[in-house]
Structures are given as structure tokens and as C-alpha cells.
Structure 1
Amino acid sequence: MAAHVVTACQWILLAGCVGASIYGLAAALAMPFFSARHESLHHGRVSSVPPPPDTALASASPYSRQQPFTQPGVSVLKPLCGAEPRLYENLRTFCEQRHRRFQLVLGVSSPHDPAIAVVRRLQAAYPECDIELAIDTRVHGRNLKVSNLINMASRVRHDVIVIADSDIAVDADYLDGVAAPLADADVGVVTCLYVARGVGGFWPRVGALFINEWFAPSVRVAHAIGSRRFGFGATLALRRATLERIGGFSALKNCLADDYWLAERVRALGLRTVLSRVMVATDVIEPTFGALWQRETRWLRTIRSVNPAGFASLLITFPTPWLVTSAALSVSLASRAGGHAPFAAVIASQAATAVCFGARLLLHLRAARRERTFWRDLPLVPLRDTLIALQWLFSAFGSHVVWRGARMPVGTAGERAGQLDSLT
């Protein structure tokens, strides 16, 4: 009879609270503490600290320091669009690599792009580096970034290709680290997670928390339970021959989530995706709430377009809303007249509240770079979590996103064409 005191809606909410608390603890434990290396990336410095070795490949890799002359040449492709804040500092980190043979191909789609002046400055500062600027106005398909990559591809001279977004900074062992897993013939793509750094004020700080305390933990949890269906624009490393087998960049020219679909098409060849231990840094530069909202809802709609089930499962990844729900449910159940609420429901709600609260604090601690950062950003945590939940709800609707001024459809036949058809 006591069980009837708790309504079906309350049981559902309780199940959600318990699930969210378990997820929150898993996310907190999956995240590493930021190290001195990550701190150097945050400030745009090239670190001398090497990334942790991939123990599965370190002993067998022909790319190791013991055999430097067997390192394959690497062509790094960086499509550019405008003179972003810190563009020169970010590109500079790619010029200071320890890898013996690498080429930088920097591409723009307009002869008037302000990024050209930044590249010229870089070429003057690093005359010993193989830095090539590709200026090509031809447009291929709806995805302008991929169109830029198609125009840059003819300049590739090496057998390993690394594609990295323009706002990425790396340490000096980056190319060694991301190329090493490709020594295994079963590996098709290597990708990297990233540390976000806010550039320019309050909203960039809020945006950095989106990546550091929501996106990155969710990827790590998915990876820990065996998922390999990802590919991030921060870094995609693959063999030139593999790119040719999937039809080159032209196969992605109408895809919204080009980074994801590149990795997915490689997986369709029976090759594995490796999440590298190498971490890179990315800039969050959106100066206003509106700009940040547009960027983050674009990401969420993109997730919805490539993985609807995964998008739906994100419901349990918003800690603060679930924490408030769990606390309110706990108070409601514990205060029932005569103690008629089931003891198990009361204990479960209280445990979920405690675990969710502790896990959220632990996640924030592990994502913070310094003690000062932890305390400075702690008041932003409830805002950040609530904002993500609202963005998720908003992103469940709508058929288009705006990316670099271009309006692109979500989940259309053009997007699906980027999946597994027409493989060579």
C-alpha cells in the first residue's frame, strides 16, 4: 500500500536522478587532472613535456625516437577563414614541431582573407618550415570548410595527412603522438580531444566550460564503455591512401559534420578509430550570449543529425537540473505525512542528490587548471549546466544550422549521403 504513495511520475523522475548521478560520477572519474602540459597549451606555449606513450603501440611503432629516420612525412592541412584572435599564436605551435619531416598547407578561399597576412608573417618568422599558402576561390558543395580542403589537397606531399582546425594549439610532440598509432595497419583514423580556453571575457569562459566540463567528459565516458564512433575537427590523422579509398574530401563536400563522417567512412573500410592521448587546446571566442548560443546549438543539432539515439541519451548528462530535481524529490518524499513514502525511494533520492552534488564538484575540480580557476568559475557551474539543458531542448527542433555565415540543412538526404555509400 505504501508504494502507491509515490506516483508513477515520481518513480520516473527518481530513475532519472539515479541515472544522472551514476553518469555524473562516471564522467568525473573519466576526466584526468589538467597537467603542466595542458597549462602550457592554455597559454599558447609549446611544451617540452611529451605526451604519455600509447602502451599498445610504443614498443612496436616505427615512429619512435629510437628510429627517427623511419618517421613518415606528415602534411598538415589547416583551412582558414578570417584572422581569428590568437591565430598567429596557434599556427606558431605547428611550426615548432619536433617531427623531422612535415609540411603545413594553410588554405583560404578568398584573396582578400585577413588570414593571408597572418600566414605571410608566419612564413617570414619560420623560413626553415615548409609552409604553403593555398588561395583558391573555387567552391565545391555546401560545406565551405571541405571545399577549402578539396582545393588544398593537390598540394599534399606526404603519406600521412593531419587535418586540424584553425583555432587549435599543440605541443611540440603533437605530430609524433598523432602519427604513431597509424603504424598499426588496422588503425584508420586518429583523433584528439581538446582543452578549451576562453578568449575575451565572460561568455567565452562560459563557452569553455561547455567543452571542458560537458563535451569532453561525455566523450570519455562513451570511449570507456567501448564507443569509437567519433571524429573531431581538432585533429584527424590518417594515411593519404586511406583518404583516397573513401573518395577523398569530395565525398564530404555536402556533409554538415564532415569530421564525423570522414571517420565514419574510414570505419566502414574495417579500420579502427583511435582516441589519442595527445591533448590539444582550442579557443572559445564568442563575445556575446547570442553568438555562443548559436555555436553550441549548432553542435548539438549536429549530434542529433548523426546520432539521434545518442542525442536523446544526453538528457542524463545535465548535472545541475538533475541535482535540483533530486533534492526537491528527496524533500518531498521525506516529508510525507506519517512516513508513508517507501524507504527505498527516500534513500535512493537522498543518495542520488549526494552523489550528483559530489560528482559535479569533482568534475569541476578535475577540469580546472588551477585552484584560482576552480573558485573563479565555480559560480558559473549552475548557469552552464542549465544553459546546456535548454540548448539541448531547443536543438531537438529545427532543420538548419548557420556555420561561418552559411546556412546548412540538418539530417537531409545530402547529409546522409556522407555515410557509407559509394565507397571505393
Structure 2
Amino acid sequence: MAIQVVMVLLTLSGLAYLLLALWGARDFGRSGRTLSGFSPDVTILKPVKGIDPRMYAGFVSHCRQDYAGRFELLFGVSSLSDPAVAEIERLKAEFPDIAIRLVECSERLGTSGKVSNLVQMIASGTYDYVVINDSDIAVSSDYLTRIMSGFADSTVGMVTAPYLGRTADQGQALTLWARLEALGISTDFMPGVLTARKLEGVRFGLGSTLAMSRAALEKAGGFLPLVDFLADDYEIGVRIVGAGYRVELCPIVVETSVPGYDFRGYWDHQMRWARSTRDSRKLGYVGLGITYAVPWAFATMVASGFALWSFTLMSIVLLARVCVALAVGVGLLRDGQVLRDLWFLPLRDLTGLIFWAWSFAGDTVVWRGETFRLHNGRLTRV
């Protein structure tokens, strides 16, 4: 009976979270911003290492911007022998009218190669505003217009953006684990972001887009203090808020590519995300476990001996979970993959709960083939 009561309470807590997520999604969906016309000149910084799926298509999307201001595109590599260099040279040849430059970042200033590159790249930038995103991000032609419009309000120090994960359409790269990864982004991670936005405001950045003024970045301490942090996007947002600025979540969606993960790749990526979140938001992360309402509802069914009322509770939870997935994944993110993989939701939530629990069992993460130990957000090589 005691186990049954605990399971019911966890299930009801998870159901309450799903209702909050729907509330947050509704609020964000109604927060459409009128474009201010503010179009400052901007430097786009893209640290790269190796070649990612659909990377070149993402590069091209940044060159095809319908933007009133000037912009330049800087790519940072740790070595000119990196395979990405050939793709950047190809891009320069295809778009000779766009200011595209390659920056060799030969120094390794910390354990995070990405942030190390950013420290060295930003000095080569020309303009007072910078936009940073990952190498595989693809954007729409109005991306810069909508992102930079947020800086018309002088209290805004950073603008970030939601994203979805794009899998391969077919073939061997369309693995179960890639589908679970993409489904989790649109129906688990992003609802959490929107719930946090509604309850406490956006106090962090998302690596899909980190747009900021140089003034805000300098007041927040710059990139150098972050060279040993895993969740650098989260940290820079926290520090910009600490410097007295606001972070705004722009209602524009960008895409990232999801590799054809095998189980090991999926496990390593999810565990890296889980442990970085655990170290960044310690108290909030403890509460994350209750958000997996579907596994808790199933546990309630088992604990009750499959009583009729437990099936009713499971039905209500499943309805709420599907509503969140459709409202955020399809309604806000326009991610058609959610409809394709909707029936994987229980499996996705079960694996999410397992990752959450197992994240407390250690402090190592695997990042681009290297193993690190994570402590208070900082990385050290194992």
C-alpha cells in the first residue's frame, strides 16, 4: 500500500507537470513579437570540428539571409588539416559576395575545444553583435532579422532560439536511437524549456542560437572563464542575466542534425546531456524525475495489481502526454517527425527516466570521442 501511494503521488506530480508544460506552450505560442526593424551589423561565429551530417546545407542557409544589415561569417578550426576546411573553401567559392573567413585557433585554452575556439575567433570579428551556433544548425532566410530584432530593447543581452532535431529520412542512418533522440528534443526537452520560461523566465542559453551584444558579453566576463565548462551555452546565459541583462527566447525554430546513433552513441549523448544538466541546475534536476509521468503511471498499475482505477489514471496521463507532444512538437516547432514517431513516446519517457536515475551514478561523460570527468560543470580529462 505504501508503494502504491508513492507511485500515485509521483504520477499525479508528473501529470501536474504536463499541464504546466501545456500552459507554457500556450503562453509561448501567443507571444509572437512584432519585428522592430532593428538590424545591426552582426558577426556569426561557427566553431567547427570535422564534418557533421547536413553541415554544408546548414552553412548555405546562413549565407542566404534576407537581412537589412551587414553580416560576416567566421569559421574557427583548431587545425587547417581539419576536413571541414575544404567545405568552408567550397562555401566561399559558392558565395563570393558574402564575407566568409576562416580562423585557425591553434591554442587549446581549456578542455572545451569549442569555447577555446570562440575565445580566439571573437577577436577577429568586426561587428558589435555576435551570433553563435553549432556547425550543423540550419536556419530560415529571416533568421537574422528575427533574432536581432530582439535587441531593440536595450535590457536584452542575449537572444536564444528553440530547435528541433532532424533525422535522416530513410536508410541505415534512420535508427531507433536517432528517432528517440529527435523525439526527445521536441517532446521532452523543449516542453521543459517552455515550462521554465513560464515559471521563472529564460535564464540560460541554448546552443542552437546564442546571440549577444559584445557589451553584454564583456560585462558577463567573456568566454575565457568558460573554457573548462561542458554546458557553456547554459553558463553564458546565466552570467549575462547576472550582469543585469535579460535573455529572450525568440519564436523562430532552427534545425540540428541527429546522427544515425547506435545504442552506445545514444547512451553517451544522453548521459552527457543529463550529467551536464545535473551539474548546472542541481535542485531543478532532482525534480526532473517526476516529469516522466507515463513510466510512473505504469508503475502505479503494477503496484495496484492492475486495478481498474489505475488504467483510468494511465489513460489520463497518456492523453496529457500526447497533448504536450502535439502542442509543442507539432504546433510550435512544426516537427512532422513527431507524428511519425508518436507511438515511441512511452519508450522515450522510459529511457529518459533511466538516464535521469543513472546520471547520479557517476561523473564521467564522453564528448567527441574523449572521456572527461565532470565536477560542478567543469571538465577534466580522465
**TM-score for both structures, normalised by structure 2:** 0.89
Which residue pairs with 1:19 in the alignment?
Answer: 13
- Specify whether residues 139 and 372 from structure 1 end up closer, same or farther in structure 2 by C-alpha distance, changes over 3 A only: closer
Superposition pairs of residues 336-355 of structure 1, within 5 angstroms = 352-355=313-316
Letter in 2 for 1:201: L
Match of 2:324 among 352, 363, 369: 363
- Specify whether residues 160 and 370 from structure 1 end up closer, same or farther in structure 2 by C-alpha distance, changes over 3 A only: closer
Is 1:188–1:239's contact at 8 Å kept on the other side of the alignment? yes
Tell which deviates more after alignment, 250-259 or 299-308.
250-259
Match of 2:134 among 165, 179, 185: 165
Gaps of 5+ in 1: 1-6, 36-50, 64-70, 335-345, 416-424
Tell which deviates more after alignment, 350-359 or 250-259.
350-359
Tell me the secondary structure at the aligned position of residue 375 of structure 2. coil
Superposition pairs of residues 302-381 of structure 1, within 5 angstroms = 302-329=276-303, 332=306, 352-366=313-327, 367-368=329-330, 373=337, 376-381=340-345
Tell me the secondary structure at the aligned position of residue 252 of structure 2. coil
Letter in 2 for 1:152: M
Match of 1:75 among 31, 37, 43: 43
Which residue pairs with 1:133 in the alignment?
Answer: 102
Matched, 1:198 2:167: yes
Q: Can you list the C-alpha shifts for 1:144-177, whole angstroms capped at 9, x where unaligned?
A: 1001111211111011111111111110111111
Tell me the secondary structure at the aligned position of residue 76 of structure 1. strand
Is 1:76–1:103's contact at 8 Å kept on the other side of the alignment? yes
Which residue pairs with 2:268 in the alignment?
Answer: 294
> How big is the shift at 1:52?
8.0
> How big is the shift at 1:407?
3.1
Letter in 2 for 1:20: G
Match of 1:54 among 25, 33, 36: 33
Matched, 1:92 2:60: yes
Letter in 2 for 1:216: M
Is 1:52–1:278's contact at 8 Å kept on the other side of the alignment? no
- Specify whether residues 351 and 27 from structure 1 end up closer, same or farther in structure 2 by C-alpha distance, changes over 3 A only: farther
Superposition pairs of residues 223-234 of structure 1, within 5 angstroms = 223-234=197-208
- Specify whether residues 382 and 272 from structure 1 end up closer, same or farther in structure 2 by C-alpha distance, changes over 3 A only: same
Matched, 1:184 2:153: yes
- Specify whether residues 29 and 246 from structure 1 end up closer, same or farther in structure 2 by C-alpha distance, changes over 3 A only: closer
Is 1:171–1:280's contact at 8 Å kept on the other side of the alignment? yes
Residue identity (%): 36
Alpha-carbon distance between aligned partners in 1 of 2:209 and 2:229, rounded to the nearest angstrom: 18
Is 2:301–2:307's contact at 8 Å kept on the other side of the alignment? no
Is 2:65–2:141's contact at 8 Å kept on the other side of the alignment? yes
Superposition pairs of residues 385-404 of structure 1, within 5 angstroms = 385-404=349-368
Is 1:286–1:292's contact at 8 Å kept on the other side of the alignment? no
- Specify whether residues 273 and 375 from structure 1 end up closer, same or farther in structure 2 by C-alpha distance, changes over 3 A only: closer
Letter in 1 for 2:128: D
Letter in 1 for 2:127: H
> How big is the shift at 1:286?
4.2
Q: Can you list the C-alpha shifts for 1:104-134, whole angstroms capped at 9, x where unaligned?
A: 1011111111111111111111111111111
Gaps of 5+ in 2: none
> How big is the shift at 1:413?
8.1
Alpha-carbon distance between aligned partners in 1 of 2:254 and 2:227, rounded to the nearest angstrom: 26
Is 2:278–2:285's contact at 8 Å kept on the other side of the alignment? yes
- Specify whether residues 270 and 373 from structure 1 end up closer, same or farther in structure 2 by C-alpha distance, changes over 3 A only: closer
Letter in 1 for 2:183: L
- Specify whether residues 109 and 372 from structure 1 end up closer, same or farther in structure 2 by C-alpha distance, changes over 3 A only: closer
Letter in 2 for 1:77: L
Is 2:130–2:211's contact at 8 Å kept on the other side of the alignment? yes
Letter in 1 for 2:7: L
Alpha-carbon distance between aligned partners in 2 of 1:378 and 1:105, rounded to the nearest angstrom: 38
Which residue pairs with 1:48 in the alignment?
Answer: none
Letter in 2 for 1:315: G
Alpha-carbon distance between aligned partners in 1 of 2:348 and 2:66, rounded to the nearest angstrom: 38
Alpha-carbon distance between aligned partners in 1 of 2:337 and 2:247, rounded to the nearest angstrom: 33
Alpha-carbon distance between aligned partners in 1 of 2:271 and 2:344, rounded to the nearest angstrom: 19
Match of 2:79 among 110, 125, 138: 110
Alpha-carbon distance between aligned partners in 2 of 1:72 and 1:370, rounded to the nearest angstrom: 29
Tell me the secondary structure at the aligned position of residue 270 of structure 1. coil
Q: Can you list the C-alpha shifts for 1:237-260, whole angstroms capped at 9, x where unaligned?
A: 110122122232112111121111
**TM-score for both structures, normalised by structure 1:** 0.81
Alpha-carbon distance between aligned partners in 1 of 2:220 and 2:199, rounded to the nearest angstrom: 28
Is 2:292–2:352's contact at 8 Å kept on the other side of the alignment? yes
- Specify whether residues 18 and 183 from structure 1 end up closer, same or farther in structure 2 by C-alpha distance, changes over 3 A only: same
Alpha-carbon distance between aligned partners in 2 of 1:286 and 1:241, rounded to the nearest angstrom: 40
Q: Can you list the C-alpha shifts for 1:23-71, whole angstroms capped at 9, x where unaligned?
A: 2233345447xx9xxxxxxxxxxxxxxx98525xx4xx351xxxxxxx2
What is the total number of aligned residue pairs between the two structures?
368
Largest Rg, 1 or 2: 1
- Specify whether residues 82 and 262 from structure 1 end up closer, same or farther in structure 2 by C-alpha distance, changes over 3 A only: same
Alpha-carbon distance between aligned partners in 2 of 1:252 and 1:207, rounded to the nearest angstrom: 27
Is 1:256–1:408's contact at 8 Å kept on the other side of the alignment? no
Letter in 2 for 1:132: R
Match of 1:409 among 368, 373, 376: 373
Tell which deviates more after alignment, 211-220 or 179-188.
179-188
Which residue pairs with 1:218 in the alignment?
Answer: 192
Letter in 2 for 1:232: L
C-alpha root-mean-square deviation of aligned residues, in Å?
2.4
Is 1:195–1:282's contact at 8 Å kept on the other side of the alignment? yes
Tell me the secondary structure at the aligned position of residue 281 of structure 1. strand
